[in-house]
Amino acid sequence: MGTETIRATQVAPPPEWALLQRHLMAAMDEAAPAFQRRYTRPDGTFVWRQEWPGFDGSDDGYESYHNWPLFYALGGASDLHEQSRMLWEAVTRQFTAYGQVWREFDANYDWMHHGESSIYFYYFGLADPSRQPDRARTLRFARMYMGDDPRAPNWDAERRQMRSPITGSRGPRRRNEWDDWSTHRAILANYPAPFEDIPGVEGPIADWNDDRVYAQILTLLNERMMSCDVPLNLTSTSLVTHAYLYTGDPRYRQWVLDYVGAWAERIAANDGICPDNVGPSGVIGETMGGKWWGGYYGWRWPHGFMSIIQPLTIAAMNAVLLTGDMGYLDIPRGQLDRMIDLGHIEEGTLMIPNRHTDSGWCDYGPLRPEFPLQIWFMSQDAGDKARLEQFPERESAWNEVIPGRSKGDDAHIAPYYRYLQGCLPDYPRDILHSQWREVARRMDRMARDDGDPESWDVHHWQDINPVHTEALLQLTCGGPQIIYHGGLLHVRLRPFDAQARRPGWPTDVAALVEALDAEGMQLYLVNSSPRLGREVILQAGAFAEHRFTSVEVLGSGATGSVSLDGSHLRVKLPPGTHLRLALGMQRYCRQPSYEQPL
């Protein structure tokens, strides 16, 4: 069947949320180039120091603009697209000169930081998948993790595992040198020690700033951690899925499923708890004295549960995208349910253990709602919703639109969920107000930023980046922000400007997802221009992985439901018109692809 066309007929002044949405986009269109002019040289490199040691920091360079190509793909200024590409190249050159990047990819680091670096690169596929340099880089980077690059032998195909928690374009890094952690020693001194038996260290904290203690830590890291596979490495499945979205080559799909399956087997063999270290022979606890806990970025150090649940969720969601099989979500579900069973309610908050040490479960704190909410948004399963009902704070803290934004621009997933449950009718207005204020706050900070660039921390620019996409993704595409440490985009729809032949909402058009469930969604479209007509193509899913089954115009002028059988729907919006649509949808039923309907 061909692409169905729907035409709006109702003329009315644009509602407040629509004006706020377009105003936010205009503010970010203006702020982004001002940010670039303030902090970069004409070639795009940061005005910063000449040297930066260790292997940490390039991720922070990329993170400073990570969401610019995504904003373009949502309708941001057209020149933002080319600028975001130029800035990616500039970060790559600058950190290559520092010695951290080689062959355009981090030489050595873990997949929490690779994941942070890579989301910027993944968004180029949404912006314009026809760019051959992006496609070539994608396939080259994927080969580094699939055993196809002899200069980067990160993958052990026989055992279906990575050869180290620190990998990259130079291959697995099995030995940490003195300078590797030099930029992070002061920070890590505030975290619990990675081991309980560091010679000369008593208590839970080890002073990384003490050279003697630091030397002991490096020795133990090299002996116990550096030859292991860890859950964090599952985040690499996004890179290989990214390659599949460009090519459709089943080899990439199979690699992802094989690696996810290997970790599912390890979890089953460990009584349902995900082990955080698998030795070079494929044995759980092989280099940790038989302990399934205590690995690099594992249950003990440095963040605990977050570093387990995030990569499991990212990988499971990638597998669902590639197969349509929601059963893969049982992998992170099992860890969530085990933690909830170990937890308790304290002063109206669900508290879970965030770490496991030699003494058992400890470090109880709130279970962050984004972990189970990401799963619910994908599955729309009654059991996943029932899990959310175990959070007593859903009636209080989840209703708050907190000011500002988090590092991952994902601080409002809980109130967004409440909005979709009919509990926060003013959420669209409140989140748009909040994000506009954050743009203004960051521009004010930039105007007052007269410090010495030589003294700036490597996170300096990402803390001022004025582009925010959380509200736009939620309100216009019907899904949450990505899982920040390396996830891909999972939303109900994405827009294309049919007249400008580019991705994103056309100028003057605002959109609001008013409801969604497993079978479809309700969408409100507004053309705020009283003079010019606009035309938008709606795509079912970020990668056309869904299929529209029906469309119905709601309200005045309704004509009944029309059957559909495709991933695209064309909507014409004459000047000053608005339109409410009920869209039937079959989800995760088509091969995902970056191909665009233009």
In this structure, the strands spanning 568-573 and 4-7 are parallel
- Say yes or no to pLDDT of 556 above 80: no
Residue 76 pLDDT class (50, 70, 90 cuts): very high
**How does pLDDT run across 495-520, given as a tens digit for each residue?**
999 999 999 999 999 999 999 999 99
- Judge whether 377 and 480 are in contact, CB under 8 Å: yes
More confident residue, 3 or 131: 131
- Say yes or no to pLDDT of 1 above 60: no
- Say yes or no to pLDDT of 558 above 90: no
**Is the backbone peptide bond immediately before 199 cis, with ω within 30 degrees of 0?**
no
- Say yes or no to pLDDT of 199 above 50: yes
φ, ψ of residue 134 in degrees (nearest 5): -65, -45
pLDDT at 325: 98
Mean pLDDT taken over the chain = 96
**How does pLDDT run across 108-138, given as a tens digit for each residue?**
999 999 999 999 999 999 999 999 999 999 9
- 3-state helix/strand/coil string of 250-278: HHHHHHHHHHHHHHHHHHHHCCCCCCCCE
Q: In whole angstroms, how far apart are CA 353 and each of 96, 300, 374, 486, 593?
A: 40, 11, 20, 24, 39
φ, ψ of residue 5 in degrees (nearest 5): -120, 130
Closest CA to 165 of 222, 126, 216: 222
- Judge whether 274 and 267 are in contact, CB under 8 Å: yes
For the chain, helix, strand, coil in percent to 5 are 40, 15, 40
**How does pLDDT run across 55-72, given as a tens digit for each residue?**
889 999 999 999 999 999
- Judge whether 87 and 124 are in contact, CB under 8 Å: no
pLDDT at 243: 98
Cβ neighbour number for residue 163 with a 10 Å cutoff: 21
- Judge whether 302 and 239 are in contact, CB under 8 Å: no
**How does pLDDT run across 368-402, given as a tens digit for each residue?**
999 999 999 999 999 999 999 999 999 999 999 99
**How does pLDDT run across 242-268, given as a tens digit for each residue?**
999 999 999 999 999 999 999 999 999
pLDDT at 411: 94
- Judge whether 392 and 376 are in contact, CB under 8 Å: no
pLDDT at 557: 63
Q: What is the mean pLDDT of residues 21-29?
A: 98
Q: What is the distance between the alpha carbons of residues 511 and 478, in angstroms, rounded to a whole number?
A: 10
pLDDT at 277: 98
Q: What is the distance between the alpha carbons of residues 501 and 91, in angstroms, rounded to a whole number?
A: 29
- Say yes or no to pLDDT of 486 above 70: yes
Domains assigned to the chain: 4-174+226-493 (1.50.10), 494-586 (2.60.40.1180)
- Say yes or no to pLDDT of 2 above 70: no
